[in-house]
Structure 1
Amino acid sequence: MSFSVTYRRHVCKFFFINNMSNWHFSCLPHCNEAWIQETGPLTQEESQALDAFAGIVRQYGYGEKCWESPSQQLLLRSRR
């Protein structure tokens, strides 16, 4: 049996931004530290963008109220 692993660019970008924003206890600070060591300190613009992202995710989270379409929300409600 063999497996093929595919990394999608937009998924990798989302993981990176989500983790760098450090909005949740599950974020991996050692990854952030390694990135900063490799590339240098974040600019003010980058820090502000990450803070804005963190605020959005803290407010809306990743549950039903987040990014599902209205039809997906109806489907989820009907399963309760």
Structure 2
Amino acid sequence: MGYVVWAVLFGALFAWEGLALMRIGDGFPTLSETLGAVMRHPAGRWALFALWLWFGWHTFVRGWHFLLRDPS
């Protein structure tokens, strides 16, 4: 189930970027434009940094014992 959630999330990001790149004149923002708007403000930079730390913790540290578990 976890792989399905990740696939849907990455699929949504790729779809957003694809639509934004196809509709350049419509004002539909790309991911880089959206992140640039957020990072203009110091609070936005701190929020993205906190999100990055949270994502790294939950991806690599919290589940580390699952990656090293004996499958038998």
TM-score (norm. length: structure 2): 0.32
Q: TM-score, normalised by structure 1?
A: 0.29
Higher relative contact order (CA 8 A, sep 6+): 1
Greater share of helix: 2
